[in-house]
Amino acid sequence: MDFSLNEEQRHWQAEARKFAADVLRPASVARDQIEGGFAPWDWDIIEAGSKLGFRTLAVPKDWGGPGADFVSQAIVMAELAKGDSAMSKAFSQNWKWSHLISVACSDDQKQRFLKPFLADHRYVMGRGITEPNSGSDNRMPPEDDPKAGYRLRAVKDGNEWVLNGEKCFIANGSVGSLFFVDARSNPDVNIKQGGTLFMVPKGTPGFRIGKVFNKRGWRFYQNAELIFENARLPQENVVGSVGTGSVKAGKGDTTGGDIFGDLELAANALGVCDDAVEMAMAYARSAKRAGKYLMEHQLVQLRIHEMHMLTEALRSYVLRTAWQHDAGEHSANAGFVMNYSTDLIQRVTRLNMQVHGAEGCMMNSRVDKLVRDAMVWTHLAGDTVQRVKILKRLK
């Protein structure tokens, strides 16, 4: 066994740590406190990170990207998340779709979409699966039920497809240049047989952005409605084949899929936990109650002990899973580590809140922000549907 990082991994770690400390962290609380769904977003931060390679980190080297391995990706996500969890996610969201393009798209599609993605610091991507009435249904559809799952309709018209319907909560929705969108090319069979995955660039006629969601946590990160009213797409924008469902279309790498997507949330949570631990330690060593530093009170010692213990356990699980991915080994661990990270990020951010405590009628804003960001996990990475779904990966 060998836990050491190689030179490239250490390079990315150092770069990400510096960028998080210099750019993300100083902007973090201020962006979080801006009212509204869209307003907390800041293109300058995306551009600055993009210039350092964080937007395109997962694009393979033969397509001109950094081609970082999974261990590097996990490390970078955690380091960036230590600066700001939502900003880290805004970068890594693009890695998912870079993975998908590399694995599942034709050379023509790569030319048309990967090239502009690499060239434009403001080119970000997202994936539209969820609809107002199809959330859990997509993740865990009842077997063979044609009524379950997304309903967005795709009808062939000559060499084009006409899309009608809407998606909601879509990542990077309000800022994306390209979306992968799941649609029903055949509504009479289940989504595995009647689902087709499309690439929808911004500016497609009949396609527009609706409401931008205003969230409790991850306020920098964008989620929006995508609205399709007779949106027309060429046949060439179909990923894989028609009517295979998105799993096959993505050659198994659906959400960046079991290979990346789940690891992403776990690695991000690790960064938040690291941040919480550091904050708690600094506070406990500087603030006093009843004449003693907090660190000298058993109440606080036990909290800080638990925070460290859980964070180190998560670090081991994240890096082990990333290592398994680099070794090409599929397992249920990506799912488990994501669910585990949900439990841990809740616990660790709340312990941090306990260590800081309410000061009269006030709470440290960043301590509160970490708790609010952590809540997103419960609704994304560790809900019961996700947990039940992971069981299907067990052999």
Partner 1 sequence: MFDLTLTPEQLEMRDTLRDFAQREMKAAAIHPDRLQPFEKPVMTDMLGKAAQLGIRTLALSEEAGGAGADNLTTCIVLEELASGEVDIATILGTTAALGRTLFDTLMSAEQKARYVKAFVDDDSYHLAFAGTTAEAGIGWTYHRDAYDEGMVAPSAVKQGNDWVINGRVEAVSNAPLAKLFAVQVRTDSKKTGMSGLSTFLIPRDTAGLKVQDTITAFGGPDNTLTRWHHGTVAAVELKGCKVPAANLLGKEGGCPFADGKLLARNAVAMAAVSLGVGRASYDAAVDYAKMRRQGGRNIMEHQAIGTKIADCTIKLELSRNMVWKAAWALDHPEAVADRSVSELPLHVIARVASAEAVHEVTLLAAECFGAMGVMRDMPLQKYVNDGFIFAHSEDTDGAAKLQIAESVAGYQRKLAA
Which residues have CB under 8 Å from 38's CB, separation 6+?
174, 212, 222
Residue showing tokens 């939502």: 86
Q: Pick the closer one to partner 1 by CB: 372 or 393.
A: 372
CA pseudo-torsion sign 237, 241, 247, 251: negative
Single out the residue of 213, 227, 293, 295 in contact with partner 1 (rule: CB under 8 A).
213
Single out the residue of 106, 111, 133, 316 in contact with partner 1 (rule: CB under 8 A).
133
Q: Pick the closer one to partner 1 by CB: 33 or 111.
A: 33
Minimum Å distance from CB 388 to partner 1?
7
| Distance separating alpha carbons of residues 339 and 121, to the nearest angstrom | 32
| Distance separating alpha carbons of residues 216 and 195, to the nearest angstrom | 32
Where does this chain touch partner 1 (CB under 8 A) — which range of 70-78, 105-113, 137-145, 318-326? 137-145
Determine, following the binding rule CB under 8 A, whether residue 275 of this chain makes contact with partner 1. Answer: no
Minimum Å distance from CB 343 to partner 1?
12
Interaction mask 110-129, partner 1, x per CB under 8 A: --------------------
Beta strand 125-128 pairing with 178-184 = parallel
| Distance separating alpha carbons of residues 253 and 233, to the nearest angstrom | 23
3-state secondary structure (DSSP) of residue 218? coil
Relative orientation angle of helices 25-32 and 85-104, to the nearest 10 degrees: 100
Single out the residue of 10, 18, 21, 30 in contact with partner 1 (rule: CB under 8 A).
30
Determine, following the binding rule CB under 8 A, whether residue 290 of this chain makes contact with partner 1. Answer: yes
CB 338 within 8 A of CB 329: no
Where does this chain touch partner 1 (CB under 8 A) — which range of 25-33, 76-84, 227-235, 242-250? 25-33
Single out the residue of 145, 157, 229, 306 in contact with partner 1 (rule: CB under 8 A).
145
Single out the residue of 60, 293, 354, 393 in contact with partner 1 (rule: CB under 8 A).
354
Determine, following the binding rule CB under 8 A, whether residue 313 of this chain makes contact with partner 1. Answer: no
| Distance separating alpha carbons of residues 266 and 295, to the nearest angstrom | 29
Q: Of 200, 35, 139, 169, which Cα lies nearest the Cα of 393?
A: 139
**Under the rule (CB under 8 A), what is the footprint of partner 1?**
29-30, 33, 35-37, 130, 133-137, 140-142, 145, 147-148, 169, 213-217, 223, 289-291, 297, 299, 303, 350, 353-354, 357-366, 368, 371-372, 375-376, 378-380, 383-385, 388
